[in-house]
Amino acid sequence: MDFEFGAADEAFRREARAWLQARLNGEFAGAAGRGGPGSEHERGDVRRAWERELGRGGWIGIGWDTGRGSDRDTGRDTGREADREADRGADRAAYGVRRATLTQQVVWAEEYARVRAPGRCGHIGENLLAPTLLAHGSKEQQDEFLPAIARGETLWCQGYSEPGAGSDLAGLRTTAVRDADGTYRITGQKIWTSLAHEADWCFVLARTEPGSRRHHGLSFLLLPMDQPGRIEVRPIRQLTGTSEFNEVFFDGARARDAHVVGGEGNGWRVAMGLLGFERGVSTLAQQIGFTEELGRVVREALRGGTAADPVLRDRLVRQWAELRVMRWNALRTLGDGGGVAGAPSVAKLLWGGWHQRLGDLAMAVRGTAAAVGPADWSARSPYELDALQRLFLFSRADTIYGGSDEIQRNIIAERVLGLPREAKGPVRGTP
């Protein structure tokens, strides 16, 4: 396995650990462990203040590749590697972020998860939009948006899925019409939009070429969410009783022509590039959270005596072993520079199914007591669910969101194994 932590990484670990321990007190102490999957509604004001604290410490954006996206897209040579690295360092200094190697990014993610620091509310901007702007955006777009993300001041949401175009993203119908003044009018509906009710900005994939089909004629646009009468956000209540994601309706919402990333008509290429950033270093931090949840299930089994059941014991051991395999797989693909074919799809299949089985197991070790919930299930009181009940209910979606298991298997079959492509039916709304 070509992935090892060296002396510099351990020094970085000590720095990260000391910084976190020094800051997670006072107003932030009560937010520890809050805001994770299924509890995004908790302590939102404190967690937004925490984002700004991370920004002041230079901890947002440590994984950004700050090479010039426009230079890479055109293939223009910017000089020797030493000169390019100097430019990157200057950009990092301008954005106020620390420099960190891949292994140091892993260290930061692990330390953050271990101390149960507050759930991030700025991760969409930091981990999805920022790398996309650095790879496909103009220098002007980078300078306009990256500093505010790095300071923890601007929150973003992602406008991709639609009621008729979820996993089949190319079937989207949202349109963006360019006016004579150069602005775009965006009309349509997005769904399952995480954190749209809190976001300041949204990046939207929309159809800018009338009559185009599938992945042709799409553009990637950035638009502010504060447009009363033009953007409506409707929360979607989940099984847990919370509303982390939303429906978003655009009725002539405005976006500037300077905020089209990658150029008009190149939205599919930009959108697919963004999806490549969704799974990376954060996978290892996610697994630390999984370890904590597994430990909670094991303690419940010991407390209630169900650990004496050999079948449940076998399931607990299997969950532990599979979690170790997931970690080794994540380290293997990171050590290869993330270039392993189909690795993101394999990782999604592994963790989605594992976490859902853990939710099942959490209920099994509780026995009949697992079915006892709030006195009034109709009340909007998600706090009455305990952690294991919330784990079970929230994990029902793990094999759907972020790309369903069926889609991931198709990707592996067609793009990795070279099997024949699945036959497609007619596009919805066409003969």
pLDDT in tens, 260-288: 999 888 888 898 888 766 555 667 767 87
Mean pLDDT along residues 417-427: 74
Give the per-residue pLDDT at 79: 45
- From CA 350, how far away is CA 347, in angstroms rounded? 5
Helix (H, G, I), strand (E, B) or coil at 255: strand
Distance between first and last Cα of the chain: 52
| % the chain with pLDDT above 70 | 80
| 278 carries an active-site annotation | yes
Q: Which residue has better confidence, 264 or 86?
A: 264
| Ranges 64-68, 286-290, 309-313: which has the least confidence | 64-68
pLDDT at residue 208 greater than cutoff 50: yes
Q: Which two tokens stand for residue 170?
A: 């190319």
Q: Of the residues 153, 209, 278, 292, which is catalytic?
A: 278
- From CA 373, how far away is CA 389, in angstroms rounded? 8
Homologous superfamily (CATH) of 7-155 is Acyl-CoA dehydrogenase/oxidase, N-terminal domain (1.10.540.10)
| Residue bearing tokens 């952690």 | 387
Kind of pairing between the strands at 231-235 and 245-255: antiparallel
| Ranges 11-20, 153-162, 377-386: which has the least confidence | 377-386
pLDDT at residue 250 greater than cutoff 90: yes
Mean pLDDT along residues 153-182: 86
- The 10s digit of each residue's pLDDT in 318-372 is 999 999 988 888 777 765 544 556 777 888 888 899 999 999 999 999 888 888 7
Q: Where are the domains of the chain?
A: 7-155, 282-416
Q: What is the CATH number of domain 282-416?
A: 1.20.140.10
